[in-house]
Amino acid sequence: MLNHRIVSTLTKYIIAVLLPLAVVAQAKVPPYEFKPVEIKFSAGFTGLMNDPTHKSGSELVYKYNGQIFDKTDGQIPTKEDGFDGTSKRSTPWETLGELIHAYREKNFDKILSLYTVTTQDQLITLLAGEKKEKFLNHVSKITKAKILAGFEYKEGILVIYESKELGISSCYMIKKKKKYVLSSFNDDGPEAWNLSLYFKFKPEPITVPLIQTTVDSFGSTETKRIDFKLNKANNFVTVCGDKLGQAVLYNIKDNSEYDLNPEPGIVGIDFNKSKSAMPKEYTLYIAETNYPLTMVSEPILKVAKGFTFKVYKK
């Protein structure tokens, strides 16, 4: 009893001394504040699954009870912030914080403990042998993670987060005994996939790049390099015809290995590389996006600018 008192007093002392320091060093887990949210974006970019239920015109519109973090919010506290990897797991964010901490610590048992018993069995099977080591080596690369959004989805919570090292990821949580635990989830619908894509690209309005090269005409056996100056570096340049549903001719990401102009913000494309263009007049359309496009759609043609050149027989 005495010992207990001494320990208790000591603890109070330590807390009293160290508390101000801890408040400064350890960031808070983001608040869990679900409310009705709406996400609306163009349905025209590559990778989106067909979702007629949520399609409105040329846009997809999703409405949930959830939480979307802006650019500065949603940071998951790290051990550098003073987070020790433990929480009450009373919000999805606390559970996710423990998961990221465990990733960094390569603590496989801790990782397993954050999942439902059923999923734990799946993970043990999936990561048998050397796969476990590979997996831990991979996930431990994470230094920081940020929650992008969470939604009430089916019987649980869909959480989408990202890290600089591993990109976008999504996980599913269910509440058990007032605690949120991770669970495997088989999703055969388009919603979660499309939302993840939305958060991957965060699509901005379509714009038109500037054609830097004068293109009036060139010979049918000549290759013509055309440079497009982007409004924003790292965007995609799309060159296409005007037939809806047809494949676009080019969709080149700035600074990718297929961008023939190494200067950032300028995409270079070789036209008539096979030197076998049919001599005639061509009209093509150009657009700039921050997401990939593979198919000609109405939103592109609405904004895209046409440019005409003639290929003469040579």
Name the site residues for other proteins (rule: CB under 8 A): 45-50, 99, 119, 122-123, 126-127, 130-139, 166-172, 182-188, 192-193, 196-197, 199-200, 220, 245-253, 256, 258, 260, 269-270, 273-274, 276-278, 291-292, 294-296
- The least distance separating other proteins from the CB of residue 301, rounded to whole angstroms, comes to 14
Q: Rounded to an integer, what distance in angstroms lies between the CA atom of residue 204 and that of residue 288?
A: 10
Nearer to other proteins, 82 or 219 (CB): 219
For residue 149, the surrounding DSSP H or E stretch is strand 145-153
What are the phi and psi torsion angles at 86 (to 5°)? Answer: -125, 150
125 burial (CB, 10 Å; 0-12 / 13-18 / 19+) is: exposed
Nearer to other proteins, 29 or 102 (CB): 102
Q: Which of 273, 286, 289 is nearest to 242 (CA)?
A: 286
- The least distance separating other proteins from the CB of residue 46, rounded to whole angstroms, comes to 4
Nearer to other proteins, 13 or 258 (CB): 258
Nearer to other proteins, 3 or 186 (CB): 186
**SS3 of 262-309:** CCCCEEEEEECCCCCCCCEEEEEEEEEECCCCCECCHHHHHHCEEEEE
169 burial (CB, 10 Å; 0-12 / 13-18 / 19+) is: middle
- The least distance separating other proteins from the CB of residue 7, rounded to whole angstroms, comes to 39
- The least distance separating other proteins from the CB of residue 274, rounded to whole angstroms, comes to 5
Q: Rounded to an integer, what distance in angstroms lies between the CA atom of residue 222 and that of residue 235?
A: 28
Q: What is the DSSP letter of 94?
A: H
Nearer to other proteins, 82 or 201 (CB): 201
Instruction: Scan for tokens 């831990």, then name that residue.
Output: 136
- The least distance separating other proteins from the CB of residue 76, rounded to whole angstroms, comes to 14
CA 276, distance to chain mean position in Å, is 40
Give the side-chain half-sphere CA count within 13 A for 266. 11
Nearer to other proteins, 26 or 193 (CB): 193
Nearer to other proteins, 12 or 280 (CB): 280
- The least distance separating other proteins from the CB of residue 51, rounded to whole angstroms, comes to 10
- The least distance separating other proteins from the CB of residue 136, rounded to whole angstroms, comes to 8
Instruction: Scan for tokens 């609306």, then name that residue.
Output: 40
- The least distance separating other proteins from the CB of residue 145, rounded to whole angstroms, comes to 11
Two tokens, residue 125: 């099977």
Q: Which of 229, 274, 231 is nearest to 249 (CA)?
A: 274
Nearer to other proteins, 26 or 249 (CB): 249
